[in-house]
Amino acid sequence: MKGIAYYSSPVGELQIESEHEKITVLGFLRDEKREEIRTAIIDQCIAELEEYFYLGRKFFSFEMDLIGTEFQVKVWNELLNIPYGKTISYEALAIRVGDIKSIRAVGLANGQNPVAIVVPCHRVIGKNGDLVGYGGGMDKKIWLLQHEGAIQEQLSLF
C-alpha cells in the first residue's frame, strides 16, 4: 500500500511517502498537498522526526527503500555512515565510495537524495569547510547542522 502524509517541522513542511511499509520519500514540500493516506511506517517516521527535532534522537530506525541508480544508492548508503554532529567533504565522500575523481557525481547523487534529513546529505560540506549546496536551501542546512551541533551559531554583535 502506498502512503503519503505531511509533517510541519522546524525547517519547513515535509512530505513523506511510503510503499510496502518502507519510507521512499522524505522531502521538502514543493507542490500542493494531496489527500493523506497514513500508514504505520509513516506514523513511525513522524514519531521519530518529532524525537529528532525536539527530544534529541540521533538515529532513525524505520525501514527505507532508497530508489535510484546503483551509484546513487551507494552514495546514499555511505551518507548513513556519517555520524550525527559530524560533517565530511564531498571529496571524502567520493573517496569513501571508491573514486576521488567522482566528486561531481557524488555531489549530484547527494542532491538527488530522496530521504532528506534521515539520509544526512546536509552533513556534506566543501573541502575547505564551506557550507555548499542543499536542495532544501542553505538556511535549512545551517539549521540542521546547528541542531546537531556540527557547527556553532554565529552571533552578531552589531
Q: For residue 153, what pLDDT is reported?
A: 61
Exposed / middle / buried, residue 31 (Cβ in 10 Å: 0-12, 13-18, 19+): exposed
Indicate if 109 and 75 belong to the same structural domain. Answer: yes
Of the listed ranges 1-10, 34-43, 144-153, the least confidently predicted one is: 144-153
d(CA 127, CA 87): 10
Among 121, 125, 144, 150, the one annotated catalytic: 121
Is the model's pLDDT at 155 over the cut of 70?
no
> Is residue 121 annotated as a catalytic residue, yes or no?
yes
Is the model's pLDDT at 157 over the cut of 60?
no
Q: For residue 130, what pLDDT is reported?
A: 79
Q: Domain residues for 111?
A: 70-147
Quote the number of domains for the chain: 2
What's the average model confidence in pLDDT over 98-121?
A: 94
Indicate if 28 and 83 belong to the same structural domain. Answer: no
Confidence band, pLDDT 50/70/90 cuts, at residue 143: very high
Indicate if 13 and 74 belong to the same structural domain. Answer: no
| pLDDT tens per residue across span 48-91 | 999 999 999 999 999 999 999 999 999 999 999 999 999 999 99
Q: For residue 111, what pLDDT is reported?
A: 92
